[in-house]
Amino acid sequence: MTRVAIIGVGHSKFGKRNDASLRELAFEAYKEALDDAEIESTNIDASVVCSATHYDKQRSPAGVVAEYLGLNPQPTFNVEAACASSAVGLRTAWALVNSGLHKTIAVIGVQKMTELPSEEIQELMGRAGDVMWESPFGTTMPAYYAMYATAHMARYGTTQEDMALVSVKNRKYGAKNPNAMFQKPIRVEEILSSRLVSYPLKLFDCCANADGAACIIVSHKDLARKGSKIPIWIAGLGLASNPMSLAGRKGPMTTFEVTKKAAKAAYGMARVGPGDVDVAEVHDSFTITEILNYEDLGFAKPGSGPKLLAQKETELGGKIPVNVDGGLIAKGHPVGATGASQIATLVKQLRGEAGDVQVDGARVGLAHNIGGIGMYAAVTLLKS
Amino acid sequence: MTRVAIIGVGHSKFGKRNDASLRELAFEAYKEALDDAEIESTNIDASVVCSATHYDKQRSPAGVVAEYLGLNPQPTFNVEAACASSAVGLRTAWALVNSGLHKTIAVIGVQKMTELPSEEIQELMGRAGDVMWESPFGTTMPAYYAMYATAHMARYGTTQEDMALVSVKNRKYGAKNPNAMFQKPIRVEEILSSRLVSYPLKLFDCCANADGAACIIVSHKDLARKGSKIPIWIAGLGLASNPMSLAGRKGPMTTFEVTKKAAKAAYGMARVGPGDVDVAEVHDSFTITEILNYEDLGFAKPGSGPKLLAQKETELGGKIPVNVDGGLIAKGHPVGATGASQIATLVKQLRGEAGDVQVDGARVGLAHNIGGIGMYAAVTLLKS
């Protein structure tokens, strides 16, 4: 296999971005990535646009994004896997470079969500579940994840306070991230006293809909080595699927089988294990999700995710710092951009450019996304 | 590069399929492809679902399709490039196999369109154009292509009768295709006297919205050679883009630059030229489109597409038979399925299994898709 590296990353400000359209958000991230890689647009020979559907009026956004970014006539297309869209876009770009079809590709994750009323977004999100047998009966995203939360509480005695600590940690780091939507720390009491969304999840257990974009530029090893930045190598690319319907799933709702399978594939490809990971970005769509992810990624034993968190092992200075950029909970979750945002964070970490939140000597980074209610999971391993 | 082959194809009946949901359409095509390849579902190690967005309620269809087809926990995701979706899906699958990530992939193009009222579909199709600067002003798909038609008429003297001959030819072959939506030949007078959709395009100059699915199974050369069927090799994979907005395009509207660029890439990769192509499937979304395609793919000189058609060179027995399965005009155009449908037809041709419409001794096949109003084009070359 040809080695493929990340040579540049860019990230827009996430949040309610009334000042920028979809194409303008994409441009912010793309321009920063080009500058970061110190290359020109003419060096990009394909683009992969990653965006979940229906959140804004523009269908087939690759068309308008490629035009606005000056990426015609190079190939472009859309890759979508709900919340894992740009992780899958990165995997696709890796394959396109590795197979020799392209040399340097811009993976652009972008989402414009906040023009829609929140109720409409909830209905749309439900439709990333099975529209024939589940979503018509009220399964919104918080409702889906709430079922996982109650199952974990019932089986392991996990509490709402345990979950709230995820939000406390991630908001603490979000306060140091100028691109985050929420830049104010939060206390456990504020979370527990926030309004109930779907028992046991309170408002501040949930990530927020947001607008935003992130861009990753991947390149063939020969070009990457000639670049100005340390190449960050794509070492593992795990992807797995699970039945979309909860009714079709087996086993307890205290774990995402799909994450375990994607992690196994990624660890195998990169020839590392959970103990080798220095810094991780995991999909904290809800506080409970981050706890499940600790366990499913092998950072903690089943049921002991809350303990890992309480002992501050997932904070800076701990065994495995997780979401030290604020995660989805502080950054906001512009669906198609989230996977690329995680990768951008890891690239900075592995280059030693993460400033205040730098994990000392980080050499191996892991990014994890869950798509929808767990029909997809992607685990990406990067090495410096 | 590793050689990658097509080892099985499947095709649902296209048309107004009130009897089948999206997942059921996908299953029809997938099951037939498995049977054609004489393999089991367990041999498929990833799936790529290709479907344009918004035509039915289900978001992120790969989730529900993979579940219904029994393709969990293998990786799955969605690839979209408007009308070129499954051509791009095939290219992506080729890269995934070629790069060593997977051995055998099912590319499933599927679309469920006819549950929506026709006006709503037209509005949606317009939103595959630029929603900021063009689609709000009335540019539906027929309106877009009508502008190309009038430009060709003005520059080369092309007539409505010339265009009607595309429909006559394709409906003639559609009558021999049991999967086609329209299985009755049509006469020039019927086309010319059908109602005007957007001058100069009449109703029977336009392809119809349809439900349907087609599936292509691609496999690594070592497995393909062990299979029961003659492997059909993927030899060329051209993809290009053009500005989504007409305002952003240069040059006359008598040609699709994007097709020329995709064709150049595909011919170069496969080391063949237009004269080597034995049988072609081109994107006849409207009659004018097929004429432009003749010219842009190098089958005819600029302006002489109508002559090539009138001389019956694109019929069976002619120099380059085109759309002898009926094309979009007779088969219907279930957007995400169309590219895979073309490939399925070519595979049968190159295996010598095309029955009544077999092109004698066909060795090289070309498939061509335009995405949207020409922001994407894909050209795929297959060899036996």
With residue A220 as reference, give the H or E element that holds it: strand A212-220
Q: At residue B336, does pLDDT exceed 80?
A: yes
pLDDT the model gives residue B139: 87
Per-residue confidence (pLDDT) for residue B1, from 0 to 100: 63
Average pLDDT value for chain B: 96
Inter-chain contact B64–A98, Cβ cutoff 8 Å? Answer: no
- The backbone region for A114, taken as left when phi is positive above 0, alpha when psi lies in -120 to 50, beta otherwise, is alpha
Tens-digit pLDDT profile for residues B346-371:
999 999 999 999 999 999 999 999 99
If you count residue pairs, one on A and one on B, with CB atoms under 8 Å apart, how many are there? Answer: 210
Chain centroid offset of residue A66 CA: 22
Residue B148, token pair as written in the block: 């190309």
The ipTM assigned to this model is 0.97
Closest to A298 in 3D by CA, of A329, A270, A277, A269: A277
Nearest to B110 by CA among B180, B39, B10: B10
Look up residue B282 and give its two tokens: 């081109």
- Residue-wise pLDDT for B242-294, tens only, equals 999 999 998 899 999 999 999 999 999 999 999 999 999 999 999 999 999 99
* Residues B371, B336: Cα–Cα separation, whole Å: 10
Q: Residue B275: CA atoms inside 13 Å, Cβ hemisphere, count? A: 1
Pick the catalytic residue from A102, A152, A220, A333: A333
Which residues pair with residue A30 across a beta bridge?
none
Closest CA to A139 of A380, A341, A351, A372: A372
| B246 has a chain A CB within 8 A of its CB | no
Tell me the percentage of chain B whose pLDDT exceeds 90. Answer: 93
Model pLDDT for residues B20-45, shown as the tens digit of each residue: 999 999 999 999 999 999 999 999 99
Answer whether A73 sits within 8 Å of B258, measured CB to CB: yes
Pick from B54, B99, B243: CB nearest A99: B99
| B residues 108..167 contacting A (CB < 8 A) | 124, 127-128, 130-132
| A223 backbone dihedrals φ, ψ, rounded to 5° | -75, -40
B 338-377: CB under 8 A from A: 371-372, 375-376
Both tokens of B297, joined, read 């793919």
For A151-163, write each residue's pLDDT tens digit: 999 999 999 999 9
Q: Does A15 touch chain B (CB under 8 A)?
A: no
Q: Which residue has the tokens 């600790």?
A: A294
3-state secondary structure of B107: strand
pLDDT at residue A1, as a whole number:
62
Residue (of B262, B294, B258) closest to B372 by Cα position: B258
Which residues of chain A from 39 to 58 reach within 8 Å of chain B, CB to CB?
46, 52-54, 57-58
Place of tokens 């496999």: B219
Backbone region of residue A221 per phi and psi (left: phi > 0; alpha: psi in -120 to 50; beta: other values):
alpha
A46 vs B77: CA distance, rounded Å = 19
Positions in chain A short of pLDDT 70: 1-2
Helices and strands of chain B, counted as H and E runs: 13, 11
Q: Which of B45, B56, B244 to mutate to test the interface with A (most CBs of A within 10 A)?
A: B244
| Cα–Cα distance measured from residue B380 to residue B384, given in angstroms and rounded to the nearest whole number | 13
